[in-house]
Amino acid sequence: MSADETKAVVLLSGGLDSATVLAMAASQGFSCYALSFNYNQRSVSELNAAKKIAHLARQHKILDIDLSAFGGSALTDADIAVPTDEPEGIPITYVPARNTVFLSLALAWAEVLDAHDIFIGVNAVDYSGYPDCRPQFIQAFEQMANLATKAGVEGQKITIHTPLIDLTKAQIISAGVALDVDYAATVSCYQADEKGAACGVCDSCRIRQQGFAAAGVVDPTRYQR
Amino acid sequence: MSADETKAVVLLSGGLDSATVLAMAASQGFSCYALSFNYNQRSVSELNAAKKIAHLARQHKILDIDLSAFGGSALTDADIAVPTDEPEGIPITYVPARNTVFLSLALAWAEVLDAHDIFIGVNAVDYSGYPDCRPQFIQAFEQMANLATKAGVEGQKITIHTPLIDLTKAQIISAGVALDVDYAATVSCYQADEKGAACGVCDSCRIRQQGFAAAGVVDPTRYQR
């Protein structure tokens, strides 16, 4: 790598948040290595969206990891229906330890790349009640990462960047529009069809719709109905 | 599960250490769920060993996860030779963030099982210089795990058990012999052949040989020469 290249691993789901994070990391001058996962999620169109958005990255890897082997979530277990009503507590769409697993794999790639920066689009405002989207989780992960790795042992600092953590969905969308993020290419829906059209009724669709409305931005999402 | 069943997820590589840990967890009365990984490691015979040893577990899962996609280690990158000389510093057989990734996936399964105990056979004495085998790493992971999960949010405590952490290899072997661990079935070698016979010269083989000698136990390992 060139002397002035600073590498970062960016977790890229293909949704609105991670697309914005990738644009932010690139705009800050990081050379971005985007990482997506094929974890037998219901919505494969999310991965197709990730491929479209990844042009801002220097490299894009899609890693296969079969989280459905463990079951336990509506997003990976075909026997559990995606709910359409307002959830209370931790919803059934929560995938057990998902961000822990994804950040761990980002850390593995960062270590190989000799990168010390990892970006993730977690959000503590519209976070759907997932425990692994909270700031205290991210801080604990960063602390662990610095003890887990060669970089940490050698006194370098690994940083987990969460540029969206305190933003509302509307603020995320406004920031992304300013960075020319193509939101029409992103997929947020938990049960989008093969062409990436959204259901419009799941928790994730509702949060996204409200975000565009609050930002005063025309919603470019394609809906199934 | 029955009211008095306490579940634990046990990381099981098929090596000497994890075989001992599984026997320890079972002897403590845990209902064990053994988790192994097919991570494109050089030595597939390790996984065959894990299958043989897993009879002590209530369930055994082998999860595919292609860590060779990242490269960077002699254990997953066919272009990097396994060294046979005494290593200095962090050796090339170190797989980036491996224990972080494995513990994260154990945490995911634990969450689905509603288990609050995870066992891992890390060892701070004969630990080959890997940063993710140190007690301070395990403590940081445990802290993170309690913030990452439903159990943590709901006030339950997740514990990462490391019963080998302060033992020498000889002490591990003595403890395992007392629990009838079949060490002939285990594979420690970084480059064992298809039938599980060990090279006898890699770092892992050397540590194992010295352990049996120091414990005064006949080494049941099958060597290639």
Domain ranges, ordered by start, for chain A: 7-215
- The SS3 of residue A32 is strand
CA distance B103 to B101: 6
Report whether A31 contacts A6 (CB < 8 A). Answer: yes
Q: Which B-chain residues 61-90 have CB contacts (< 8 A) with chain A?
A: 61, 63-67, 69-72, 90
pTM higher than the cut 0.95: no
Which chain A residues are within 8 Å of B97, Cβ to Cβ? 104-105, 107-108, 111, 148-149
- Average pLDDT on B80-84 reads 56
Q: What pLDDT band is residue B1 in, cutting at 50, 70 and 90?
A: very low
Per mean pLDDT, which range of A7-11, A23-27, A165-169, B151-155 is the poorest?
Answer: B151-155
Q: Judge: A63–B65 Cβ closer than 8 Å, yes or no.
A: yes
CA A205/CA A160 separation, integer angstroms? 27
Query: Looking at beta carbons, which residues of chain A come within 8 Å of B101?
Result: 101, 104-105, 107-108
- Does the ipTM surpass 0.90? no
For B90-120, write each residue's pLDDT tens digit: 555 556 788 999 999 999 999 989 999 999 9
Residues in chain B: 225
Q: Which ranges in A67-192 belong to alpha helices (H)?
A: 98-113, 135-148, 150-153, 169-178
A217 to chain B, any CB pair closer than 8 A? The answer is no
Interface mutation target, options A147, A154, A158, chain B, most CBs of B under 10 Å = A147
CB contact set of A200 (below 8 Å; sequence gap of 6+): A189, A209, A223, A224, A225
Nearest to A131 among B96, B100, B150 (CB): B150
H or E stretch at B215: helix B203-215
For domain A7-215, say whether CATH 3.30.479.10 is its number. Answer: no
Most confident of A128-132, B60-64, B91-95: B60-64
Q: Range with the lowest mean pLDDT among A55-69, B119-133, B141-155, B206-220? A: B119-133
Report the gap between the CA of A126 and the closest CA in chain B (Å): 17
What are the chain B neighbours of A95 within 8 Å (beta carbons)? 108
